[in-house]
Amino acid sequence: MGRATALVLSNALASLSVGLMALSPSNEALTTSLSIVIAIHGAFSGALWPIYATCAGDLFPSSVGTVLGLWTLMMELGASAAPTIGGLLADTFDSYVPALWLSSAAYPVAISFIVVTVMARRRLGGPRG
């Protein structure tokens, strides 16, 4: 399948599962199967960081340490900001649903960056992802 494809697939399924969580308060079928949706999210969200790490070596072979360091910094900034932003959204709307939608929307943004990076590397003759 390829690492970049696995990364895109994991991001897409994590996004889908968060979107399903956002829909669950208004859908009884989703509410009853929420534990399955959360398990799917855990599996695909948990797989993301190791796949990102392997893709760093594929896409940026001469600067793996720098790329991993910057990705770690960005991940930590996001992990620090997410509870505050999510909490503000939950307080403002009196629901966690807007925070879940924002989270679900962040994954396709990541997917677009992955696709652009892989396509650029392929055009430049770099390794395939």
Model confidence, pTM: 0.82
Report pLDDT for 101: 96
Please tell me the distance from the alpha carbon of residue 39 to that of residue 3, in angstroms, as a whole number.
Answer: 22
Predicted pLDDT of residue 85: 96
Residues 107-122: tens digit of each pLDDT: 999 999 989 988 888 8
* Domain boundaries defined on the chain: 3-123
Average pLDDT taken over every residue of the chain: 89
Q: Which of 12-16, 47-51, 73-77 has the highest mean pLDDT?
A: 12-16
Closest CA to 21 of 104, 81, 91, 110: 104
What's the full length of the chain, in residues? Answer: 129
3-state DSSP of the chain = CCHHHHHHHHHHHHHHHHHHHHHHHHCHHHHHCHHHHHHHHHHHHHCHHHHHHHHHHHHCCCCHHHHHHHHHHHHHHHHHHHHHHHHHHHHHHCCCHHHHHHHHHHHHHHHHHHHHHHHHHHHCCCCCC
Instruction: Of 78, 80, 54, give the one whose Cα is nearest residue 67.
Output: 54
Per-residue confidence band for 1, with pLDDT thresholds at 50, 70 and 90: confident
Residue 46 is predicted with a pLDDT of 84
